[in-house]
A = this chain, B = another copy of it.
Protein backbone atom coordinates (compact mmCIF):
# COMPACT_ATOMS: atom_id res chain seq x y z
CA UNK A 1 0.00 0.00 0.00
CA UNK A 2 2.13 2.73 -1.11
CA UNK A 3 1.22 4.75 -4.18
CA UNK A 4 4.75 5.80 -4.95
CA UNK A 5 3.77 8.14 -7.75
CA UNK A 6 1.36 10.07 -5.54
CA UNK A 7 3.89 10.48 -2.76
CA UNK A 8 6.48 11.68 -5.20
CA UNK A 9 4.08 14.07 -6.88
CA UNK A 10 3.31 15.72 -3.57
CA UNK A 11 7.02 16.00 -2.77
CA UNK A 12 7.58 17.64 -6.11
CA UNK A 13 4.64 19.95 -5.52
CA UNK A 14 6.15 21.03 -2.22
CA UNK A 15 9.52 21.52 -3.86
CA UNK A 16 7.94 23.74 -6.51
CA UNK A 17 6.35 25.77 -3.74
CA UNK A 18 9.72 26.28 -2.08
CA UNK A 19 11.66 27.12 -5.22
CA UNK A 20 9.09 28.70 -7.51
CA UNK A 21 9.44 29.63 -10.23
CA UNK A 22 11.51 26.51 -10.98
CA UNK A 23 12.54 24.53 -14.04
CA UNK A 24 12.42 20.81 -14.75
CA UNK A 25 16.19 20.58 -14.64
CA UNK A 26 16.50 22.16 -11.22
CA UNK A 27 14.01 19.70 -9.83
CA UNK A 28 15.79 16.69 -11.32
CA UNK A 29 18.96 17.80 -9.59
CA UNK A 30 17.07 18.30 -6.34
CA UNK A 31 15.58 14.82 -6.35
CA UNK A 32 18.07 12.88 -8.45
CA UNK A 33 15.19 11.51 -10.51
CA UNK A 34 15.10 10.95 -14.27
CA UNK A 35 14.07 14.01 -16.23
CA UNK A 36 11.12 12.31 -17.87
CA UNK A 37 9.70 11.28 -14.53
CA UNK A 38 9.85 14.78 -13.14
CA UNK A 39 8.43 16.33 -16.25
CA UNK A 40 5.55 13.89 -16.48
CA UNK A 41 4.71 14.71 -12.90
CA UNK A 42 4.80 18.44 -13.54
CA UNK A 43 2.52 18.13 -16.56
CA UNK A 44 0.09 16.02 -14.55
CA UNK A 45 0.01 18.54 -11.71
CA UNK A 46 -0.50 21.25 -14.29
CA UNK A 47 -3.41 19.48 -15.94
CA UNK A 48 -4.98 19.06 -12.53
CA UNK A 49 -4.78 22.82 -12.12
CA UNK A 50 -2.29 22.89 -9.28
CA UNK A 51 0.67 24.21 -11.25
CA UNK A 52 0.97 26.87 -13.90
CA UNK A 53 3.71 28.11 -16.17
CA UNK A 54 5.39 31.35 -15.20
CA UNK A 55 4.15 34.28 -17.23
CA UNK A 56 7.54 35.61 -18.21
CA UNK A 57 9.48 32.35 -18.51
CA UNK A 58 7.11 29.65 -19.66
CA UNK A 59 9.57 26.87 -18.90
CA UNK A 60 9.42 27.70 -15.22
CA UNK A 61 6.67 26.29 -13.03
CA UNK A 62 4.90 27.84 -10.09
CA UNK A 63 1.98 27.08 -7.80
CA UNK A 64 -1.44 28.07 -9.14
CA UNK A 65 -3.92 30.02 -7.06
CA UNK A 66 -6.32 27.10 -7.10
CA UNK A 67 -4.62 25.49 -4.12
CA UNK A 68 -6.39 28.11 -2.03
CA UNK A 69 -9.52 26.00 -2.34
CA UNK A 70 -7.78 23.43 -0.15
CA UNK A 71 -7.87 24.95 3.29
CA UNK A 72 -6.93 23.25 6.57
CA UNK A 73 -9.78 22.22 8.82
CA UNK A 74 -8.20 24.30 11.57
CA UNK A 75 -8.97 27.46 9.61
CA UNK A 76 -12.16 26.25 7.98
CA UNK A 77 -15.08 28.59 8.25
CA UNK A 78 -13.92 29.66 11.66
CA UNK A 79 -12.73 33.22 11.51
CA UNK A 80 -9.60 32.36 13.45
CA UNK A 81 -7.27 34.25 11.13
CA UNK A 82 -9.51 37.29 10.88
CA UNK A 83 -10.10 37.36 14.63
CA UNK A 84 -6.38 37.03 15.35
CA UNK A 85 -4.88 39.58 13.04
CA UNK A 86 -5.74 42.83 14.80
CA UNK A 87 -4.81 41.64 18.29
CA UNK A 88 -1.57 40.24 16.88
CA UNK A 89 -0.72 43.56 15.27
CA UNK A 90 -1.40 45.38 18.52
CA UNK A 91 0.81 42.92 20.39
CA UNK A 92 3.60 43.42 17.86
CA UNK A 93 3.28 47.19 18.26
CA UNK A 94 3.59 46.85 22.05
CA UNK A 95 6.63 44.57 22.13
CA UNK A 96 8.09 45.06 18.63
CA UNK A 97 8.90 41.40 18.22
CA UNK A 98 7.70 38.96 15.58
CA UNK A 99 4.33 37.43 16.45
CA UNK A 100 3.23 34.01 15.16
CA UNK A 101 -0.08 32.23 15.13
CA UNK A 102 0.40 28.46 15.11
CA UNK A 103 -2.09 25.58 15.09
CA UNK A 104 -1.52 21.98 16.22
CA UNK A 105 -1.40 19.35 13.50
CA UNK A 106 -0.95 15.57 13.45
CA UNK A 107 -0.88 15.28 17.27
CA UNK A 108 2.82 16.02 17.66
CA UNK A 109 3.58 19.16 15.69
CA UNK A 110 2.60 22.78 15.18
CA UNK A 111 2.24 24.68 11.93
CA UNK A 112 2.67 28.45 11.54
CA UNK A 113 -0.47 29.91 9.95
CA UNK A 114 0.15 33.64 10.27
CA UNK A 115 2.93 36.04 11.13
CA UNK A 116 3.36 39.72 11.97
CA UNK A 117 6.95 40.90 11.71
CA UNK A 118 8.92 42.99 14.15
CA UNK A 119 10.84 45.94 12.77
CA UNK A 120 14.19 45.02 14.31
CA UNK A 121 17.08 44.48 11.93
CA UNK A 122 17.76 41.18 13.71
CA UNK A 123 14.62 39.06 13.84
CA UNK A 124 13.64 35.43 14.03
CA UNK A 125 12.14 33.96 10.91
CA UNK A 126 9.57 31.22 10.48
CA UNK A 127 7.57 31.11 7.29
CA UNK A 128 3.87 30.35 7.06
CA UNK A 129 3.58 26.57 6.79
CA UNK A 130 6.71 25.90 8.83
CA UNK A 131 6.54 22.94 11.20
CA UNK A 132 7.83 22.62 14.75
CA UNK A 133 7.54 19.94 17.45
CA UNK A 134 4.97 20.22 20.21
CA UNK A 135 7.19 19.43 23.18
CA UNK A 136 10.16 21.64 22.40
CA UNK A 137 8.48 24.96 21.64
CA UNK A 138 6.63 27.60 23.61
CA UNK A 139 3.62 27.44 21.31
CA UNK A 140 3.47 23.67 21.52
CA UNK A 141 3.61 23.63 25.30
CA UNK A 142 0.94 26.31 25.50
CA UNK A 143 -1.22 23.90 23.47
CA UNK A 144 -0.23 20.83 25.51
CA UNK A 145 -0.99 22.57 28.79
CA UNK A 146 -4.56 22.99 27.60
CA UNK A 147 -4.97 19.55 26.05
CA UNK A 148 -7.07 16.80 27.60
CA UNK A 149 -5.18 14.26 29.70
CA UNK A 150 -5.57 11.32 27.31
CA UNK A 151 -4.21 13.15 24.28
CA UNK A 152 -1.43 14.67 26.35
CA UNK A 153 -0.35 11.27 27.64
CA UNK A 154 -0.30 9.97 24.11
CA UNK A 155 2.19 12.65 23.12
CA UNK A 156 4.31 12.16 26.21
CA UNK A 157 4.39 8.41 25.69
CA UNK A 158 6.51 8.72 22.58
CA UNK A 159 10.22 9.41 22.78
CA UNK A 160 10.80 13.17 22.94
CA UNK A 161 13.33 14.18 20.36
CA UNK A 162 16.14 16.50 21.39
CA UNK A 163 17.00 19.51 19.24
CA UNK A 164 19.54 21.28 21.43
CA UNK A 165 21.28 20.84 24.78
CA UNK A 166 18.43 22.48 26.66
CA UNK A 167 15.54 20.54 25.10
CA UNK A 168 13.36 18.86 27.68
CA UNK A 169 13.30 15.17 26.78
CA UNK A 170 12.23 13.73 30.12
CA UNK A 171 8.45 13.26 30.36
CA UNK A 172 8.49 14.01 34.08
CA UNK A 173 10.27 17.33 33.64
CA UNK A 174 7.95 18.17 30.79
CA UNK A 175 4.91 17.45 32.95
CA UNK A 176 6.26 19.77 35.63
CA UNK A 177 6.88 22.42 33.00
CA UNK A 178 3.32 22.08 31.73
CA UNK A 179 2.01 22.58 35.27
CA UNK A 180 3.97 25.80 35.39
CA UNK A 181 2.54 26.86 32.04
CA UNK A 182 -0.98 26.25 33.32
CA UNK A 183 -0.28 28.28 36.45
CA UNK A 184 1.31 31.19 34.59
CA UNK A 185 -1.01 31.25 31.59
CA UNK A 186 1.94 31.35 29.23
CA UNK A 187 4.79 29.09 28.09
CA UNK A 188 8.45 29.95 27.62
CA UNK A 189 11.11 28.46 25.37
CA UNK A 190 14.73 29.49 25.50
CA UNK A 191 16.81 27.91 22.72
CA UNK A 192 15.16 24.53 23.13
CA UNK A 193 14.26 24.04 19.50
CA UNK A 194 16.19 26.40 17.27
CA UNK A 195 19.40 27.63 18.88
CA UNK A 196 19.28 31.37 19.40
CA UNK A 197 15.50 31.55 19.18
CA UNK A 198 13.39 32.25 22.26
CA UNK A 199 9.62 32.45 22.51
CA UNK A 200 6.75 33.19 24.84
CA UNK A 201 3.33 31.77 23.97
CA UNK A 202 -0.24 31.44 25.13
CA UNK A 203 -3.14 29.33 23.85
CA UNK A 204 -6.27 30.44 22.02
CA UNK A 205 -9.16 28.33 23.30
CA UNK A 206 -12.42 27.18 21.79
CA UNK A 207 -15.70 27.50 23.67
CA UNK A 208 -15.24 24.01 25.12
CA UNK A 209 -11.77 24.81 26.40
CA UNK A 210 -9.92 22.83 23.74
CA UNK A 211 -6.84 24.57 22.33
CA UNK A 212 -7.21 25.93 18.80
CA UNK A 213 -3.96 27.81 18.32
CA UNK A 214 -1.08 29.50 20.06
CA UNK A 215 -0.02 33.13 19.91
CA UNK A 216 3.76 33.31 20.04
CA UNK A 217 6.18 36.15 20.69
CA UNK A 218 9.39 35.07 18.99
CA UNK A 219 12.75 36.81 19.45
CA UNK A 220 16.48 36.25 19.16
CA UNK A 221 18.24 35.12 22.33
CA UNK A 222 20.21 38.35 22.22
CA UNK A 223 17.08 40.31 23.12
CA UNK A 224 15.71 37.80 25.61
CA UNK A 225 15.59 39.40 29.06
CA UNK A 226 14.27 37.28 31.97
CA UNK A 227 13.22 40.44 33.80
CA UNK A 228 10.69 41.24 31.08
CA UNK A 229 9.18 37.76 31.22
CA UNK A 230 6.23 38.57 33.52
CA UNK A 231 5.27 41.56 31.38
CA UNK A 232 5.59 39.72 28.05
CA UNK A 233 3.78 36.72 29.48
CA UNK A 234 0.91 38.89 30.62
CA UNK A 235 0.69 40.61 27.22
CA UNK A 236 0.71 37.40 25.19
CA UNK A 237 -1.88 35.79 27.48
CA UNK A 238 -4.13 38.84 27.18
CA UNK A 239 -3.79 38.72 23.39
CA UNK A 240 -4.71 35.04 23.29
CA UNK A 241 -7.75 35.65 25.45
CA UNK A 242 -8.81 38.55 23.27
CA UNK A 243 -8.60 36.37 20.15
CA UNK A 244 -10.62 33.61 21.82
CA UNK A 245 -13.29 36.15 22.73
CA UNK A 246 -13.39 37.81 19.30
CA UNK A 247 -13.67 34.48 17.54
CA UNK A 248 -16.67 33.47 19.61
CA UNK A 249 -18.26 36.90 19.44
CA UNK A 250 -18.72 37.04 15.67
Show the binding face of A for B, using Cβ within 8 Å.
1-3, 5-7, 9-11, 13-14, 17-18, 20-21, 40-41, 43-45, 47-50, 52, 54-55, 62-76, 85, 103, 105-106, 111-113, 127-131, 151, 210
For this chain, the copies found in one complex come to 2
**Complex interface: chain B residues within 8 A of A5 (CB):** 3, 5-6
How far does the alpha carbon of A10 sit from the alpha carbon of B47 in the complex, in Å?
A: 11
The answer to whether B73 and A10 have CB atoms under 8 Å apart is no
The answer to whether B48 and A10 have CB atoms under 8 Å apart is yes
The answer to whether A45 and B6 have CB atoms under 8 Å apart is yes
Q: From B20, B45, B62, B70, give the contact of A67 (CB < 8 A).
A: B70
Known A-B contacts A6-B44, A52-B105; the reply to A129 vs B1 at CB < 8 A is: no
Closest to A1 in B: B40
**Complex interface: chain B residues within 8 A of A103 (CB):** 65
The answer to whether B41 and A6 have CB atoms under 8 Å apart is yes
Q: What's the least CB distance linking A185 to chain B, in Å?
A: 23
Q: What's the least CB distance linking A167 to chain B, in Å?
A: 22
Q: What's the least CB distance linking A233 to chain B, in Å?
A: 25
The answer to whether B71 and A128 have CB atoms under 8 Å apart is yes
Closest to A74 in B: B65
Would you give 9 A-B contacts (Cβ < 8 Å), ordered by A? A1-B44, A6-B6, A6-B48, A9-B9, A17-B71, A62-B73, A65-B74, A65-B113, A66-B72
**Complex interface: chain B residues within 8 A of A10 (CB):** 45, 48, 50
